[in-house]
Structure formats: C-alpha cells, structure tokens
Structure 1
Amino acid sequence: MHEYSLAMDLMESVLTTAEDNNAKIVNRISVKVGRIAHVNPMQLEFCLKSIGEGTIAENASYSFEYIDPEIKCACGYFGKPDETEDDLDMLEYLVSLICPLCGKNVEVIGGTELVVDSIDID
C-alpha cells in the first residue's frame, strides 16, 4: 500500500505548517488528488488518521477533491481529455490519446498531483 508513504509525507507537511503557525490543533485537512495519481483517497485517509494519532492532527477531518487530467500537444493544443466512465478507463484512454487537432501523441501535464490544499487550524 503506497498510500502509507504518501500519507507520511503529507502529514509531515501538515504538522510542520501547523507548528510553524503556532497551532494547537488541526481541525481539517483538504487534499487535492489527481484522477490519474494512482491514489485511493479512502486508503489515504485511513493512513493519515493512523499517522495523526497522538499529534495535534489526531481529530482532524479530511476532504478530498479530484483534479482532472490535462493534456498538451506540440501543435499547441491544450485541454482536458474526453470524459470516461471511471478512472481505469481514463488510464487506458490516456495511454493511447492523440491530439484532436493534429493526430499526434499528447503529453499528460495534469491530473497526477497529490497536494495538501488547505489546513484549518486553531
């Protein structure tokens, strides 16, 4: 489960930021997850809660927002791929994706992120 190592990094960032701002408690942590980041938000939340035990983030709540993939082409095209039914289909789609303008392969430039978006502290 690679979510545990990702959660370790995220929690370290959260706690460092909270301590730098003299927080006594972390109330809420908002995380942005790219739709093609290969991260399961439910597993990530479980790991974050486990790692947060005994810290000022012990009782924090979590919210997750998905970031859609974005693509670009050497011809100048920039945009989002067509919608698919689920993330697995999205991955298969992106592997074979071609530019809607020129027909060449595109570069995926967004949708793989995993970032702490905001931290609510007291």
Structure 2
Amino acid sequence: MHEYSIAYDIFATAKRTALENSATIVKKVYMDVGEMTMINPEQVVFLFDTMCEEDPLFSGCELEYRSVSVKTKCKCGYEGSERFACPDCGLLPEIIEGREVMVTNIEIEVDD
C-alpha cells in the first residue's frame, strides 16, 4: 500500500515547512496527483487525516488534491494526451505530465 508512504511524505513535508516557518497551525495542504500515478487519492486523504489527528499542529487540517491530466509529446512533433501510441506516427510518446504526486501549497497560521 504505497498510499501510506505518500500520505506520510506529504505530512512530513507539511510539518517540516510549518516548523521552518514558525507556524502555529497548518490549515490546508494542496497536492497535484497525476492520472498515471496509479494511486487512490481518496485513500491518501484518509491516511493523511489519520496522521493529523495525533498532531495538534494539524488540528482541522485538510488535504486537497487536484487531478493532473496526462500530456505527451512525440519525436514526430505530436503533443496531446495519447499515452500508448502516437496518433501521427505510431511510436510511443513521452509522458511529460501526469505522473507526479506533488505538494503545491501549504496554508499555515503564524503568531504576529
């Protein structure tokens, strides 16, 4: 179950960022999930929420995700979303977007 390790990495990244910036609370974490990652983002959210329950810094924190569509590029010049065979030449196109799992933003509160 690699969703657990992904949720843990997101949690650890948010915690490290919060501590480096003297946060009093982490309100929301945003992530991008590519269509080709083969993970279930709902499971990642559930596991992340479970981790947050044990840390007061994350009280009420939400993990929000955005699905990233596949974008490909072929040597022949084709650019689009075909994953398996270029519609112009039949070669396997290179996937340039859609395989990432990435924290994009973290909302925190700090004392003045």
* Same-fold call, TM cutoff 0.5: yes
Q: Which residue of 2 aligns with 1:110?
A: 97
Q: Which amino acid aligns with 2:11?
A: M
Any unmatched runs of 5+ in structure 1?
A: 82-93
Q: Give the paired residue count.
A: 108
Q: Which residue of 1 aligns with 2:50?
A: 50
Q: Which residue of 2 aligns with 1:12?
A: 12
User: Could you tell me which of 88, 94, 97 is aligned with 1:101?
Assistant: 88
Q: Distance in 2 between matches of 1:103 and 1:4?
A: 37
State the Cα RMSD in Å.
Answer: 1.3
Any unmatched runs of 5+ in structure 2?
A: none
Q: Which residue of 2 aligns with 1:121?
A: 108
Percent same amino acid among aligned pairs?
34
Q: Distance in 1 between matches of 2:12 and 2:54?
A: 13
String of CA shifts for 1:15-41, please: whole Å, max 9, x gaps.
Answer: 101111111001111111111111111
TM-score, length-normalised on structure 2?
A: 0.87
C-alpha displacement of 1:53: 2.4
Higher strand share: 2
Q: Runs of 4 or more off by more than 6 Å in structure 1?
A: none
